[in-house]
Amino acid sequence: MSKLEMGTWVGLDDEPVEYTVLRDEVELDLGGRGSGFEILATERGLTVLADRCTEALGELRARRRREELVPE
């Protein structure tokens, strides 16, 4: 059996983010139902995603604050 590998890139700015709670997973739809990018996550997967996003947001904001303090 061959192994399929695929990379995907998604840009997200002020796009709608919707979700549907399924039996034991959550379906996230980035960009709108039927026209966006879907992620299916377990509770653990959603926790990891939320933690990493919170960490990344903190780092992005800290970097912006540092750059504002640096004179040109």
DSSP-H helix ranges across the chain: 43-69
Average pLDDT over residues 29-55: 89
**3-state SS record for 18-30:** EEEECCCEEEEEE
Average pLDDT over residues 52-64: 95
pTM of the predicted protein model: 0.76
Average pLDDT over residues 17-46: 89
Rounded CA separation 65/68 (Å):
5
Rounded CA separation 30/35 (Å):
9
Res. 2: pLDDT tops 70: no
